[in-house]
Amino acid sequence: MKAFVMKEIGHVGFVDKPLPRPGPLDAVVRTTNALICTSDSHTVKGGIGPRENLTLGHEAVGVVHETGDQVRGFQPGDRVLVGAITPDWGDLASQNGHPSQSGGPLGGFKFANIKDGVFAEYFHVNEADANLAKIPDEVPDEMAVYCADMLSTGFMGAEKGDIPIGGTVAVLAQGPVGLMATAGARLRGAGRIIGIESVPSRQKLARFYGADEIVDFTTEDVVERVLALTDGQGVDTAIEALGADATFQTAIKITKPGGTVSNTGYYGEGEFVRIPRVEWGVGMADKTIATGLCPGGRLRMERLLRVLAGKRLDPTPMTTHTFHFDEMERAFEVSDKKLEDVVKVLIRF
Amino acid sequence: MKAFVMKEIGHVGFVDKPLPRPGPLDAVVRTTNALICTSDSHTVKGGIGPRENLTLGHEAVGVVHETGDQVRGFQPGDRVLVGAITPDWGDLASQNGHPSQSGGPLGGFKFANIKDGVFAEYFHVNEADANLAKIPDEVPDEMAVYCADMLSTGFMGAEKGDIPIGGTVAVLAQGPVGLMATAGARLRGAGRIIGIESVPSRQKLARFYGADEIVDFTTEDVVERVLALTDGQGVDTAIEALGADATFQTAIKITKPGGTVSNTGYYGEGEFVRIPRVEWGVGMADKTIATGLCPGGRLRMERLLRVLAGKRLDPTPMTTHTFHFDEMERAFEVSDKKLEDVVKVLIRF
Amino acid sequence: MKAFVMKEIGHVGFVDKPLPRPGPLDAVVRTTNALICTSDSHTVKGGIGPRENLTLGHEAVGVVHETGDQVRGFQPGDRVLVGAITPDWGDLASQNGHPSQSGGPLGGFKFANIKDGVFAEYFHVNEADANLAKIPDEVPDEMAVYCADMLSTGFMGAEKGDIPIGGTVAVLAQGPVGLMATAGARLRGAGRIIGIESVPSRQKLARFYGADEIVDFTTEDVVERVLALTDGQGVDTAIEALGADATFQTAIKITKPGGTVSNTGYYGEGEFVRIPRVEWGVGMADKTIATGLCPGGRLRMERLLRVLAGKRLDPTPMTTHTFHFDEMERAFEVSDKKLEDVVKVLIRF
Amino acid sequence: MKAFVMKEIGHVGFVDKPLPRPGPLDAVVRTTNALICTSDSHTVKGGIGPRENLTLGHEAVGVVHETGDQVRGFQPGDRVLVGAITPDWGDLASQNGHPSQSGGPLGGFKFANIKDGVFAEYFHVNEADANLAKIPDEVPDEMAVYCADMLSTGFMGAEKGDIPIGGTVAVLAQGPVGLMATAGARLRGAGRIIGIESVPSRQKLARFYGADEIVDFTTEDVVERVLALTDGQGVDTAIEALGADATFQTAIKITKPGGTVSNTGYYGEGEFVRIPRVEWGVGMADKTIATGLCPGGRLRMERLLRVLAGKRLDPTPMTTHTFHFDEMERAFEVSDKKLEDVVKVLIRF
């Protein structure tokens, strides 16, 4: 079968690979739709170290092709979604409530990391009964595929932010995860949502997904402006959705005492991420810093699909580009180089 | 001044009372709008025992008339909302995170209970800095007044129900509190909301506020139907918004193991409220029963007002009737006897 | 192999059974020590319905005899503990944080329920990597075996009771689960623990495990006495460790507004468990009722073993009787009929 | 009356001041015992900016001398404890569950900060009903005084660390707050507690208060050693009880994915406190960073006193030095310069 891989650091392309086979608890899925993620670019640049001919991609939906002999809940032909994170559910970290950390830090992240990803005609899913979810008829594939990572990660930012109904929230950066954090804040009942973003097309999407105010960090002092918008108090919750030291610092500064900084960003550079000492209340202002990695698993996916089936949210306006799998090289370039105001690139198989 | 009172059990009417005066921390508010609550009927029927010429009402907005000399945050002329519950914030129960229980069980409930209520030209508010909230310009009085009890209590049902994003929720009874519990479930991100209600006009409002499905208990078996709607699992959260033994039992039965029954209802009758033993998992199915009393206080009111200012919700379609304060006797009769498909009766001063 | 079974409702005895074999993820354990539980008596009396030649028992330690080919963390010869509850970790309920409810209400309870229990020379364990725990050298078998159910269930009562450091706790009934709830309350930092118990030997154990006060319900009014001991406030947390309607009612009555009733009891009788309406604050006093079923799994067992290894607690004074497996019939009779001031009966193999 | 003050940055000494008078809600207390805190040294060095003749001290017990006319629960002659933090209970931050942040970041910290402290013959207490607690007869003054800050802050470290029963905990630095964090971890049921400390007398106290292992950072690599002690997993909870960038970094490194770093330290230096990026899991390992400021208030103090009355803990072995108030200059020098293996200095009046 055809697979789009990272040949080595800095190089991508197609290779031919054998069809994967499931172990007793696993499934193999025929891919129908996938999305390209910024993480794919991080990986290709060496963010997780060298890899050779590793299939890229971790956001996909498809049709069950084959199941292991102990799989009970799925059978060939089922239209399914699989989370970007596919935990080992018996692991101690999962038992501890942190399945994304099963098998070690970030260990639930298997696709395009410790095994082949989803940019291939078929892909393998561990613990199928626990990691697949059936897609309801009313949710099309190109919508469902957003649950795998974008909704799950963005909503996690809102959930870990512990937003009270009517609370104030700032979301720092309105890329696809930030947009879904904005939508997630809205879904949790935030009373006022401030989106931090400079790109006009993303500002527009931010408003679509629920931002009440937009602050453009290229023309305004974000800390000053957010404090002004919140009577000098700061927000209940700041969601960092970029993964940059400077943005993280801003998040601490604009959060009120007793508030939460919820991180969804991947920090790819530097030895440290720095907390501004004074604005952190010299370690005593009760500002919690929460982090996490995209929740996966069947229950999570079923709940996210219910959000779509219930018409609470339409993620498809984030699809700025659509390519066929054959055009993967161009598709990857558009996403990687952030060409043409790209937000998300959908791949059809 | 003119006050509408419970003269004795079973009798209401107008009396003339002296204008209240504030203590050092208090305020006196000139009433502009109020809502009649089912609790007012309970009180008149003797639900809290005998009272003599007690001013009724606990849902109101108005304009600050006078403040005590230690009040810092409010001054005469401020347009304000006051929660139905006005806690003593220094009390041990408040320090313990349960301000509605300050001063004893349900002790935060002062209006029309241990002191005169708000159905008068002026009313008294304890701890004004902590219990009043300024109403934003963009929120009209007749909308803001819904925060005092309806939004606060209904949303509490959703909040204590610990609803996950995409979770399933049933709200049992779609009176005004149930409708706001429905809206609250939607605000917390529920993926599927089932409203239990038989009255067509309330069914319609339930859909308006976010119910995806309506189950009519007069024509369907609620337990069977809810289980059918949730793949036999039961809901994550059942919100009891009536206050009846039978409804409470249903709530237990339709909640999945590990789920939450969140109570907002006032149980006015009988020695016991009964838990169905087997469906409760013989005490071991991890079904939590949570209860509470309408949260009050400035922070809560500010957050609820933010929900309205942010246009997340419009409670005014619940106003089926509007009367002037002079017409209070007829207004009370409509509410008390549930005439003319009444949902809420607004009183203008 | 020899197994001690429930032949039919009301009858127990030995039968010979074939040695169990593990599936790919499972293990078979050679039993070395076991404890008899009150639940075994419930089962024999028909509490879970009819069974034929079902091996009894769910509290055991042993030595790994054989493992399935996918088991990674254990091998024959390992000295191991297995929780009474052995969840399916990939199940939706487990993903939802309620592994004891995996596979349906109370579905994690497999031993002596939906498969053979541990009163046999060998027993089978599902998902061995996730459900077994190695016993540290410093913890003897006859101590470790208490983790399987007694510590896990009793501590759960304290944990779900949400006890604040310095809080007040009442534990209703000081059987072995109640005693471990008392110890658990002490481990969570309760400032004052009131044990409700009438049997002198159990009163003595209650004091040993941390009760500061004992209330004998046969000679005192429990509600009056607990209120008197808590300045009329009631306790922060009441742990029901009996499973009786009357005790449950008392638990509600002695809990302060905002407090928690935490249930560990199994309710075996009646259509209803009844909440006293007025003392429950007519559904509005913020008294939470929490329930659960003995937590199982490797992580839980490892943590409980750490409590023992760290010498925080010695459960062995609860062992009032010790028998060899050959004497199982007499052992069961002592436990079942509560002879000779029995608390727990240890079985050696 | 006589008061021991910070005359200006770097200078302390006695001055004479008028007796304070209570406002309507306040009390004036005659001091009987006090403790010197490291924070007093920070303050004198200019940590909170310049002050002129500000009375120092925030840990004290005494006897009520005078009460405001609205105080209900206390009267002259009552033996009382007052928390180091005396919140404004009606403030929005208090309503939000963060009373130590009332009135702004760290705003509950009033003594020796925004008003005179307790190193005087008499001191003033705001909101007496909410901020004082009566001392039980069985708790002597010199023991009760430890509740004001040491127990409250140290226990907070354990509480915010979200320690599971049987969990693993490291406490970084075993000064008096670290020692009480160690005791707090023990009170919450930690199964293994690792104290990081190099001073022999403090190591000994650490073992007394519950540390199972001691790691001496001057002779061992703390990260290596803690990982070795926890099977390479890291601890569930790391409590930073020093307030140093390097220690904070170590805390992040030794915490397992999904674990919590709970901060009690005051960070007095540098622009930043730095998170080690990779060991923080590039922002995705679910390691929560929690902070806070010593909880105050009557409920907290009553609970801490109950811990002492119930003989769960004896803090008095931390009293290495006792002086009379007349000897305050020498006493302060001993504490400030950490002379003679000082842990805590008790002042008698």
pLDDT digits (tens, 9 = 90+) for C100-151: 999 999 999 999 999 999 999 999 999 999 999 999 999 999 999 999 999 9
In chain D, the residue whose alpha carbon lies closest to the alpha carbon of C164 is: D303
User: What's the mean pLDDT in D237-245?
Assistant: 97
Cβ contacts of B36 within 8 Å, gap of 6 or more? B57, B59, B331, B332, B335, B344, B345, B347
- Kindly state the DSSP code that residue C84 receives in the 8-state scheme: S
**Is the torsion defined by CA of C149, C152, C154, C160 positive or negative?**
negative
At A10 the pLDDT is: 93
Chains sharing 3 or more CB pairs under 8 A with chain B: A, C, D
**Yes or no, beta carbons of D281 and A290 under 8 Å apart:** no
Instruction: Name the fold adopted by C2-149+294-348.
Output: Quinone Oxidoreductase; Chain A, domain 1 (3.90.180)
Strands A344-348 and B54-55 come out as unpaired
Distance from CA of C32 to the nearest CA of A (A): 26
pLDDT digits over A213-236, tens only?
A: 999 999 999 999 999 999 999 999
**Yes or no, beta carbons of D129 and B90 under 8 Å apart:** yes
**Yes or no, beta carbons of C89 and A92 under 8 Å apart:** no
Name the residue among A92, A96, A299 with its Cβ closest to that of C95.
A299
At A306 the pLDDT is: 98
**Is the torsion defined by CA of D194, D197, D199, D205 positive or negative?**
negative
Percent of chain D with pLDDT strictly greater than 70? 100
Distance from CA of B100 to the nearest CA of A (A): 18
In chain D, the residue whose alpha carbon lies closest to the alpha carbon of A281 is: D105
**Yes or no, beta carbons of A283 and D270 under 8 Å apart:** no
Distance from CA of D92 to the nearest CA of B (A): 6
User: What's the mean pLDDT in C204-226?
Assistant: 98
Architecture of domain B154-290: 3-Layer(aba) Sandwich (3.40)
Cβ contacts of D338 within 8 Å, gap of 6 or more? none
For residue B326, the tally of other CB atoms under 10 A from its CB is 14
At C50 the pLDDT is: 92
Cβ contacts of A224 within 8 Å, gap of 6 or more? none
In chain D, the residue whose alpha carbon lies closest to the alpha carbon of C304 is: D166
- The B-side interface with C (CB below 8 A) comprises 92-93, 96-98, 100-101, 104-106, 233, 240, 243, 257-258, 263-277, 280-293
- The C-side interface with A (CB below 8 A) comprises 24, 70, 89-92, 94-97, 99, 127, 129-130, 297-300, 302
Query: What's the CA gap between D331 and D339, in Å, rounded?
Result: 10
D167, amino acid identity: G
- Is residue D172 predicted with pLDDT exceeding 90? yes
Residue C123 tokens, joined: 């027993």
At D215 the pLDDT is: 98
Distance from CA of D343 to the nearest CA of A (A): 22
Name the residue among D70, D92, D300 with its Cβ closest to that of B298.
D92
**Domain boundaries in chain C?**
2-149+294-348, 154-290
Q: Are A268 and D284 in contact (CB under 8 A)?
A: no
At C243 the pLDDT is: 96
At D48 the pLDDT is: 87
- The least confident of A75-89, B310-324, C33-47, D143-157 is C33-47
**Yes or no, beta carbons of A291 and D275 under 8 Å apart:** no
C146, amino acid identity: Y
**Minimal CA–CA distance to C94: which of A144, A148, A91, B235?**
A91
At D47 the pLDDT is: 86
SS3 content of chain B, % helix, strand, coil (to 5): 30, 25, 45
Residue D188 tokens, joined: 């919450």
Interface with A, mutate which of B146, B165, B194, B262 (most A CBs under 10 A): B165
At C186 the pLDDT is: 98
Query: What's the CA gap between B178 and B194, in Å, rounded?
Result: 11
Query: What's the CA gap between C61 and C42, in Å, rounded?
Result: 22
Percent of chain B with pLDDT strictly greater than 90? 97
Q: How many residues are given for chain C?
A: 349
**Yes or no, beta carbons of B92 and D299 under 8 Å apart:** yes
Map tokens 């090289």 to a residue. Answer: A329
**Yes or no, beta carbons of A293 and D274 under 8 Å apart:** no
In chain A, the residue whose alpha carbon lies closest to the alpha carbon of C24 is: A24
Name the residue among A167, A192, A310 with its Cβ closest to that of B212.
A310
pLDDT band at B279 (very low <50, low <70, confident <90, very high): very high
pLDDT digits over D48-85, tens only?
A: 899 999 999 999 999 999 999 999 999 999 999 999 99
At B2 the pLDDT is: 98
- Is residue A287 predicted with pLDDT exceeding 90? yes
Residues of chain D contacting B126 with CB distance shorter than 8 Å: none
Distance from CA of C311 to the nearest CA of D (A): 9
In chain D, the residue whose alpha carbon lies closest to the alpha carbon of C302 is: D166
Q: Are B261 and B289 in contact (CB under 8 A)?
A: yes
Residues of chain D contacting B302 with CB distance shorter than 8 Å: 92
Q: Are D248 and D273 in contact (CB under 8 A)?
A: yes
- Run of H or E including B229: helix B222-229
**Minimal CA–CA distance to B41: which of B338, B299, B340?**
B338
At C48 the pLDDT is: 87
Query: What's the CA gap between C257 and B101, in Å, rounded?
Result: 6
pLDDT digits over A123-146, tens only?
A: 999 999 999 999 999 999 999 999
- Is residue B47 predicted with pLDDT exceeding 90? no
For C148-179, give the DSSP string: TTHHHHHHHHHHHTTPPTT-EEEEE--SHHHH
* Distance, first Cα to last Cα, chain A: 12
Distance from CA of A101 to the nearest CA of D (A): 6
In chain A, the residue whose alpha carbon lies closest to the alpha carbon of C296 is: A95
Q: Are D49 and D98 in contact (CB under 8 A)?
A: no
Name the residue among D70, D96, D130 with its Cβ closest to that of B95.
D130
- Kindly state the DSSP code that residue A211 receives in the 8-state scheme: -
**Minimal CA–CA distance to C276: which of C316, C330, C238?**
C238
User: What's the mean pLDDT in D240-263?
Assistant: 98
- Run of H or E including C243: none
Name the residue among A100, A277, A292 with its Cβ closest to that of D271.
A277
Percent of chain B with pLDDT strictly greater than 70? 100
At B48 the pLDDT is: 87
Query: For chain C, what is the radius of gyration of the CA atoms?
Result: 20
User: What's the mean pLDDT in A174-201?
Assistant: 98
Distance from CA of A193 to the nearest CA of D (A): 19
**Yes or no, beta carbons of D90 and B129 under 8 Å apart:** yes
Residues of chain A contacting B159 with CB distance shorter than 8 Å: 165
- Is residue A63 predicted with pLDDT exceeding 90? yes
- The C-side interface with B (CB below 8 A) comprises 92-93, 96-98, 100-101, 104-106, 233, 240, 243, 257-258, 263, 265-277, 280-293
**Minimal CA–CA distance to C74: which of C135, C18, C138?**
C135
- Kindly state the DSSP code that residue A69 receives in the 8-state scheme: T
Name the residue among A266, A275, A282 with its Cβ closest to that of D283.
A266
The rounded Cα D327 to chain-centroid distance in angstroms is 23
- Is residue B76 predicted with pLDDT exceeding 90? yes
pLDDT band at D210 (very low <50, low <70, confident <90, very high): very high
Residues of chain D contacting C191 with CB distance shorter than 8 Å: 303, 306-307, 309-310, 312
User: What's the mean pLDDT in C331-337?
Assistant: 96
In chain A, the residue whose alpha carbon lies closest to the alpha carbon of C133 is: A92
Query: Is residue B198 packed enough to be buried (19+ CB in 10 Å), middle (13-18) or exposed (0-12)?
Result: middle
For residue C268, the tally of other CB atoms under 10 A from its CB is 16
**Yes or no, beta carbons of D267 and A273 under 8 Å apart:** no
- The D-side interface with A (CB below 8 A) comprises 92-93, 96-98, 100-101, 104-106, 233, 240, 243, 257-258, 263, 265-277, 280-293
φ and ψ of C226, to 5 deg: -70, -40
Buried b (16+ CB within 10 A) or exposed e, A71-107: bebbeeebbbbbbbbbbbbbbbbbbbebbbbbbbbbb
- The least confident of D10-24, D37-51, D55-69 is D37-51
In chain A, the residue whose alpha carbon lies closest to the alpha carbon of B190 is: A307
User: What's the mean pLDDT in C291-302?
Assistant: 98
Map tokens 């259509």 to a residue. Answer: C271
At A99 the pLDDT is: 98
Distance from CA of A112 to the nearest CA of D (A): 17
Q: Are B48 and B113 in contact (CB under 8 A)?
A: yes
In chain D, the residue whose alpha carbon lies closest to the alpha carbon of B133 is: D92
Buried b (16+ CB within 10 A) or exposed e, D75-113: eeebbbbbbbbbbbbbbbbbbbebbbbbbbbbbbbbbbb
User: What's the mean pLDDT in D72-101?
Assistant: 98
Distance from CA of D307 to the nearest CA of C (A): 5
The rounded Cα B11 to chain-centroid distance in angstroms is 23
**Yes or no, beta carbons of B268 and C285 under 8 Å apart:** no
